[in-house]
Structure 1
Amino acid sequence: MAFLDAVDWQGRIFSGGWIKGSSEPYDSTEPATGKTLGRVGAATPADLDRAAGHAQQAQLAWTVLPYVERAQVLRRAAALFEKHHAEIAEWIVRESGALRPFADIQTSMGAAEECHEAAALAAAPFGEVLRSVEDRLSFSRRRAVGVVGVISPFNAPMLLAMRALAPALALGNAVVLKPDPRTAICGGVTIARVFEEAGLPEGVLHVLPGGADVGAALVDDPRVPVIAFTGSTEAGKAIATAAAQRLKRVHLELGGNSALIVLDDADLDKAVSAGAFGSFHHSGQICMASSRHLVHASIAEEYTARLAERADAVPVGDPMTGAVLMGPMIDERQLRATHTVVSDSLAAGARLAAGGTHEGLFYRPTVLADVPLTARAYAEEIFGPVAPVVAFHDLDDAAHLASDTEYGLSLGILTRDVAKGLALADRIPTGLVHINDQTVNDEATSPFGGVGASGNGARHGGAAANVEAFTEQQWVTVRGEIPGYPF
């Protein structure tokens, strides 16, 4: 029997077991074929209200368990992700349109690794002894915040949910997860099944697919003091504004308009390959995508021609066939948004070097040359398979262009002179820097996050970032006896 078939999850939400949601269930659709994959249960704010209360009560028992017991649950979850990775990865391929290698990264190499790292986090030191001028023991300790709300996106639904969910659980919190409705099976149902099978106590995890009203209720609920959100900058700003009314902490991983800088000494063939991957991987639907190719003027024309050749050669189609390098976009709305940016940029003076067409949801890899700095393809996040190329003349010009954006998520610099690349990176505000690599990189052990419109800094990855994100620091003193006071 398949892993998901072991329980009746169809048309149900996960909240104290598999139960009917208050909203009408809906069909999850495969973007590559239009086929219905399954029936997804849907929640309402009323379901969220019940889930938050249940999670708050369940967390009290979960957080006082010995750390080894919480770690064991995470280790069992990691083993289940590894054991069932083929089935889970297929759901990711079919529901999100990802290629199989990207789906594998999200399961056995992503979700499982997040669980392993979280299991170790449960045993990490959680305080320190402090000096005090008083005759007392003084120390600080970390305590779970209580209930963590996680709102995850469609583009990497498994990985981007797990990198918040796993450490939050390991540190003694309960979690309420609202996955994107378009990928609620691979990014919600599968996660619930894994932790159900791993022995996570009932009520510690709730998975509530639903619309924006459910997300708004999660942000507003006073029993959920921390929100971890991955998504658009526009939505992130709205969440931050609403959370501020509750004095909540928010961890925001938002959009990007990341630059890939190609210096004149770079290996051109490898640079073109890296640039193509950075822009076209997962149809460009990645926040870290190489959204602006800044290329030294002496090689810009040749770089653009070679990149266009690579784009024209990319096989695009149903990722379940295994014979493609790029699958579909998630839905018609995302495709139209991408095509509008391309059309507007051509009207503004950019030249179409490759692509710019589509069949159904399959958008061809697109290369834009001679892109004006006022064009939308240069100034905005595209979230589609589009590579705008802009020439620069010297390092000052490159630094200015790369910094000329409200975003600050990832930066790639390609050069044979590593010291020069590091010096250039120091001049550009960004959360992530990759010398001699494209901009799309992520590891469970490394801090991840952007600055400016890309988010409020590194809030995920690595022990320090996760502890800071999902615990509160408490000061404690202990005296041998009560001191005397002049009252």
Structure 2
Amino acid sequence: MTQQAAVKPAENGLAQAVAQILSSLGVAPHVYSSGERLVRSPLTGETIGRVKDTTPAEARAAIAEAHDAYLAWRAVPAPRRGELVRLLGDALRQDKEALGRLVTIEVGKIVSEGLGEVQEMIDICDFAVGLSRQLYGLTMGSERPDHRLMEQWHPIGPVGVISAFNFPVAVWSWNAALALVCGDSVIWKPSEKTPLTAIAVTALFERVAAKFDGAPKGLATLLIGGRDVGEILVDDARVPVVSATGSTAMGRIVGERVAKRFGRAILELGGNNASIVCPSADLDLALRAIAFGAMGTAGQRCTTLRRLIVHESVYDKLVPRLKQVYANVSVGNPIASDALVGPLIDEAAFAGMQKALAAARDIGATVHGGERHTAGHSASAYYVRPALVEAPEQTGPVVEETFAPILYVLKYSEFEEAIRLQNGVPQGLSSSIFTTDMREADRFLSATGSDCGIANINMGSSGAEIGGAFGGEKETGGGRESGSDAWKAYMRRMTSAVNYGRAMPLAQGVKFDID
């Protein structure tokens, strides 16, 4: 099949661009052009690919192959495993432009965000390479004479990764880079909305692994499909760890099903993130941070800023400026313009946004923006003007996560009230505060401050770096990925005692003499 005929309808220019990118990454045309599942670009709503779903039998066979790969990979020394991840990072550097452009086409991110997502993959590879020589255990003092007490960390098995559409490749890399250096194999079930980026990354990995002496077949496998395929992965006892990124509703199901078989779930779920703007805040700095946090990725980040809690003394200084930014921000196709806000992923996302705005009006909120942006765009693409909503109280849609560019603005008078508002939602992912008062900043970071997994000072809620563990509390799921000691979730801990003496003392003073 030729590149031009690979995707129907053939008149789709984006499809041709996708075919060229995938071909350059080593993906055969039949992989992205011969299936029954349509892949559409949110930029135009046009079909850019047709992929074949993984059958239940194929999924189970892939899991079996991943298990066999784990049995071989766990015996490879960790620094050697790190060398494979280093080569993966090098390949990502080489293909950064192509893969970043594919992210933009399939997800709708602006160009710098598409490239930034691939850079995030490169960064976690660098982190994991260093980690491969730092999988440290502890040596503890034993209460028994002539004994040594220690812990070790060992590979645990195949790791299932279920990723969402909004970060179609970065989330896989957070999990895969760590899992690989930890001695695990990886099984990836991407969002059914963004399979092409997953296919591209898998092909890139396979190309690297084929040149690496000691990488077993099935070390990183891919399952394409919907919920039925995901359920097979979640329910299989050969997969001891499942990392799932998505909605809270999805996480409730995954967490329960994995727990029933005594597996381990790493859940990265919803976020309803807030920023507090204090009287002493640098408003110019805050304005820039709020704009990106609330409108970046068209509001489709789990760390998107969704609530702005502004002190009454600066409300009338900040909010009018914010309204002006919202009214003037450029909305459009990011590969045809320099727009800062691209499209929503699909019609369902647009409908969810409109439902939330209607609910906001019902509680007496004033809505600025939020309308569909149709000028120059296909009827099948869903561009919207970001919505700034002045809310009278934190209730109704304000305490829910709507995956769209809606920012609810609330007033506060006392700092304790701001903290209560910040923490007064079911989600607990990211948070931030704008202040030059050291006491307010330190209180926000204290045990009585923000209850989120991420808390930032004088910056927005979005844009986490890979060096820190990423994740949140409450309905965000409690999982941690990426940096710090998140690697421990991909390994099993073994506590060991060594008796190097000739006596047999027991702990806690227990006596059991058989002479």
Query: Normalising to structure 1: TM-score of the pair?
Result: 0.92
Among residues 441, 465, 474, which one is paired with 2:463 in the alignment?
441
After TM superposition, the structure 1 = structure 2 runs for residues 391-430 of structure 1, keeping only pairs within 5 Å, are 391-426=411-446, 427-430=449-452
Secondary structure of 1:42's counterpart equals coil
Q: Distance in 1 between matches of 2:501 and 2:396?
A: 71
1:110 aligns with 120
Paired residues of 2:299 and 2:404 also in contact (CA < 8 A): yes
Secondary structure of 2:42's counterpart equals coil
After TM superposition, the structure 1 = structure 2 runs for residues 157-196 of structure 1, keeping only pairs within 5 Å, are 157-186=168-197, 188-196=198-206
Deviations 1:243-299 (A, max 9, x none): 111011111111011111111221223322221211110010011111101001122
1:474 aligns with 2:494: yes
Pair 1:9–1:245, CA change in 2 (3 A): farther
Shift of 1:211: 0.4
1:323 aligns with 338
Deviations 1:80-117 (A, max 9, x none): 1111100000100000000111111111x210111111
Q: What amino acid is aligned across from residue 242 of structure 1 in structure 2?
A: R
Among residues 83, 89, 97, which one is paired with 1:72 in the alignment?
83
Q: What amino acid is aligned across from residue 434 of structure 2 in structure 1?
A: L
Q: What amino acid is aligned across from residue 415 of structure 2 in structure 1?
A: L
1:218 aligns with 2:233: yes
Shift of 1:347: 2.3
1:202 aligns with 2:217: yes
Shift of 1:300: 1.7
2:394 aligns with 373
Q: Distance in 1 between matches of 2:497 and 2:159?
A: 28
Among residues 349, 355, 363, which one is paired with 2:384 in the alignment?
363
Paired residues of 2:72 and 2:216 also in contact (CA < 8 A): no
Shift of 1:415: 1.2
1:279 aligns with 294
Paired residues of 1:284 and 1:383 also in contact (CA < 8 A): yes
Q: Distance in 2 between matches of 1:329 and 1:460?
A: 26
Paired residues of 2:147 and 2:501 also in contact (CA < 8 A): no
- Deviation larger for 192-201 or 139-148: 192-201
Percent identity over paired residues: 30
Secondary structure of 2:393's counterpart equals coil
Pair 1:446–1:56, CA change in 2 (3 A): same
Q: Distance in 2 between matches of 1:407 and 1:356?
A: 27
1:462 aligns with 483
- Deviation larger for 198-207 or 127-136: 127-136
1:150 aligns with 2:168: no
2:16 aligns with none
- Deviation larger for 267-276 or 201-210: 267-276
1:288 aligns with 303
1:312 aligns with 327
2:51 aligns with 40
Pair 1:402–1:164, CA change in 2 (3 A): same
Shift of 1:321: 1.8
Paired residues of 2:117 and 2:170 also in contact (CA < 8 A): yes
Q: Distance in 2 between matches of 1:123 and 1:408?
A: 33
Among residues 389, 409, 426, which one is paired with 1:389 in the alignment?
409
Pair 1:90–1:137, CA change in 2 (3 A): same
Deviations 1:107-146 (A, max 9, x none): 1x21011111111111114323333315444432101111
Greater radius of gyration (CA):
2
1:17 aligns with none
1:90 aligns with 101
- Deviation larger for 116-125 or 227-236: 116-125
Q: Distance in 2 between matches of 1:456 and 1:103?
A: 27
1:16 aligns with none
Unaligned runs of 5+ in 1: 14-19
1:268 aligns with 283
Q: What amino acid is aligned across from residue 514 of structure 2 in structure 1?
A: P
Shift of 1:11: 4.9
Q: What amino acid is aligned across from residue 149 of structure 1 in structure 2?
A: G
Secondary structure of 2:169's counterpart equals helix
Q: Distance in 2 between matches of 1:125 and 1:245?
A: 29
Shift of 1:483: 7.2
Among residues 64, 69, 89, which one is paired with 1:58 in the alignment?
69
Pair 1:220–1:125, CA change in 2 (3 A): closer
- Deviation larger for 226-235 or 269-278: 269-278
Paired residues of 2:121 and 2:169 also in contact (CA < 8 A): yes
- Deviation larger for 268-277 or 325-334: 268-277
Paired residues of 1:422 and 1:435 also in contact (CA < 8 A): no
Q: Distance in 1 between matches of 2:476 and 2:287?
A: 26
Pair 1:34–1:355, CA change in 2 (3 A): closer
Paired residues of 2:273 and 2:461 also in contact (CA < 8 A): yes
Secondary structure of 1:311's counterpart equals helix
Secondary structure of 2:133's counterpart equals coil
Q: Distance in 1 between matches of 2:232 and 2:326?
A: 43
Secondary structure of 1:438's counterpart equals coil
Paired residues of 2:146 and 2:501 also in contact (CA < 8 A): no
- Deviation larger for 112-121 or 265-274: 265-274
Deviations 1:59-84 (A, max 9, x none): 11111112232111101100011111
Deviations 1:443-487 (A, max 9, x none): 111111101011214x21224121x21000112344569978839
Q: Distance in 2 between matches of 1:214 and 1:234?
A: 17
Q: Distance in 2 between matches of 1:115 and 1:444?
A: 10
Q: Distance in 2 between matches of 1:229 and 1:128?
A: 29
Q: Distance in 2 between matches of 1:243 and 1:134?
A: 42
1:27 aligns with 2:47: no
Q: Distance in 2 between matches of 1:337 and 1:185?
A: 25
Q: What amino acid is aligned across from residue 188 of structure 2 in structure 1?
A: L
Secondary structure of 2:239's counterpart equals coil
Pair 1:268–1:479, CA change in 2 (3 A): closer
2:12 aligns with none
Query: Normalising to structure 2: TM-score of the pair?
Result: 0.87
